[in-house]
Amino acid sequence: MSTDNKEEIYRAKMNLETSRIAWKELQRFFASGSAVAVSAELDLVEVAFQISEDNKAQVAQWMSAGQVGWVSDEQALAWYESDADVWAVVVSPYVLVQSAEKLQ
């Protein structure tokens, strides 16, 4: 099996593990410091894949652009108060979350 094929299969697996969930269900992950926010500009599955592959250069680029980072207190509160749903996927030890609202 080629490397490209393995990557495609792994991305498909991550896509299947991604789900829409109430932010309130993820509060414990935020409290433990393992909730990572992903900008709506990015593909959540691609970010999860790059983190799982330990692609430090790409992740650092997203972080410096403010597209990936820890969920802020302000964002957590806004999601909590609006009873928001988010997209989420686990890349242990992190839970990647992305607003379920798409950019217009």
* pLDDT of 72 over the 90 cut: yes
Inside any domain, residue 79: yes
Is 57 within a domain?
yes
Domain presence at residue 82: yes
Stretch 49-69: mean pLDDT, rounded?
Answer: 97
Q: What's the total number of domains in the chain? A: 1
Structure tokens at 14: 């991550």
Which of 1-15, 19-33, 59-73 has the lowest average pLDDT?
Answer: 1-15
Q: Which domain holds residue 64?
A: 3-99
104 occurs within a structural domain: no
| Opening angle at CA 65, ends 21 and 54, nearest 5 | 70
Q: What is the mean pLDDT of residues 21-50?
A: 97
Mean pLDDT calculated for residue range 79-83: 96
Q: pLDDT exceeding 90 applies to what percent of the chain?
A: 79
d(CA 64, CA 79): 23
Report CA torsion sign: 21, 23, 26, 32. Answer: positive
Residue 102: its pLDDT value, please? 57
Q: Residue 50: pLDDT above 70? A: yes
pTM comes to 0.89
